[in-house]
Amino acid sequence: MSESPSSIRAYAASLPLPDERIILGCGGCSVDFLATVDSYPNPDDKIRTTTFKLQGGGNAGNALTCAARLGLTPRLIAKVAEDAQGRGILEELEADGVDTSYLVVSKEGNSPFTYVIVDQQTKTRTCIHTPGYPPLVPTELSQSNLLSALEGARIVYSDGRLPETAIVIAKEAFIPSALVSFILKLPNIRFVIVTLGEEGSMMIEISVHGEEIVDLHDSQSEEMDVDYLLNSLKQRVDNSNPMRECVSSKVLFWNLISFLNPDNANMLEYLEIACNDFYPNMRLKAQGIGAVRGRFLLGTAEKIPSSELVDTTGAGDAFIGAVLYGMPPEQMLPFAATGAARGCRALGARSGLPWRTDLARFFNQAKHLGFVDDKEVTEVVCVVVVFRI
């Protein structure tokens, strides 16, 4: 016995929705001109359609429309023009419940559209697509807009139509959480680093006591979201400085304590000792994934003048080779960035790899700038154990 439409609607309304319903999509949205024909035409044929429909299309637009109809809260990053087709795209998406506030609307050019010929005989379709112009470039999406789009998002989806923009979103959305996830899956790791090209590197160093990893679920640990922490560290980077930097969550926390206790010298001295001994107890939390205890470090890349940039081949390999030397993180990330920059000033992957003389120059410069002292220089010869045996 079939149920009535009203009972089905009532049952649908009673179904529970996910607690986290926000979905962010990036990719294509367009207008589809759908023409159904008895059979696909031969060259020079003139035929008539049996049916015609004008409808929204595009992979990301279609997927997020589906998500909206299922009760989720999708947001879309895409681009249309300020033309009749663009207005139709926005109106249809908004009518279905897709948040279009993050779409870029160009005053000039054309919105994307596709002619779709549906062959009733073979049950196939042929798509003839005209891309939108001008195309979306990542710089059209401001940092504040991107962070706003990502806020609260449970899933980020890309259909591959806007790869450069999708990469920017992925870097902002996934990398800190991915580091936490990686450590949780491989608990014997002491640290994990990801390189970001000209944007530097990120690192999470796990807190250890002797040879044992500290309990990751200690309720007494200070907890901080890794995405929030990354944004805080970025604000501390001196973008006018062409040299390498390493900003640590430990420094960030110490500055917060100094701010809260600016007039109590004895308290500050006590807290400085306490922070040096116990600060690794901070739990770095990735929403929906878990938490690890350690500290987060952000390293910058050297800004190479275009007149000195020769070839970026092997820059990441040079970075890793420098990491393998085994320095404390505050020196390791800047030195690895130095090695990568040196490699970019020569042709090929191996021509510009750093030598021990480059290590000496780095430490001389670091001492001059106050990054390390003579004692630290002698101590960094030890090799860092990445995996516990």
Q: According to the model, what pLDDT value does residue 378 have?
A: 31
Average pLDDT over residues 129-151: 92
pTM for the whole structure: 0.61
Flag the least confident range among 77-81, 128-132, 220-224, 325-329: 220-224
Does the structure show a pLDDT above 60 at 24?
Answer: yes
Flag the least confident range among 214-228, 249-263, 367-381: 367-381
Band (384; pLDDT cuts 50, 70, 90): very low
Does the structure show a pLDDT above 70 at 196?
Answer: yes
All structural domains of the chain, each given as residue ranges with its CATH number in brackets, are 19-38+49-172 (3.40.1190.20)
Average pLDDT over residues 269-281: 46
List pLDDT tens digits, range 305-338: 889 988 887 888 888 888 877 788 888 898 889 8
Q: Taking CA 67 as the corner, what is the angle to CA 166 and CA 60, rounded to the nearest 5 degrees? A: 35
Does the structure show a pLDDT above 70 at 268?
Answer: no
Does the structure show a pLDDT above 50 at 388?
Answer: no
List pLDDT tens digits, range 206-222: 876 433 344 444 444 56
Does the structure show a pLDDT above 80 at 250?
Answer: no
Please state whether beta strands 73-77 and 79-81 pair in parallel, antiparallel, or not at all (unpaired): unpaired
Strands annotated E in the chain? 22-26, 30-37, 51-57, 73-77, 79-81, 104-106, 113-119, 124-130, 155-158, 191-195, 201-206, 208-209, 212-213, 223-225, 246-248, 283-286, 290-299
b (16+ CB within 10 A) / e for 155-184: ebbbbebbeebbebbebbbeebbbbbbebe
Mean pLDDT taken over the chain: 79
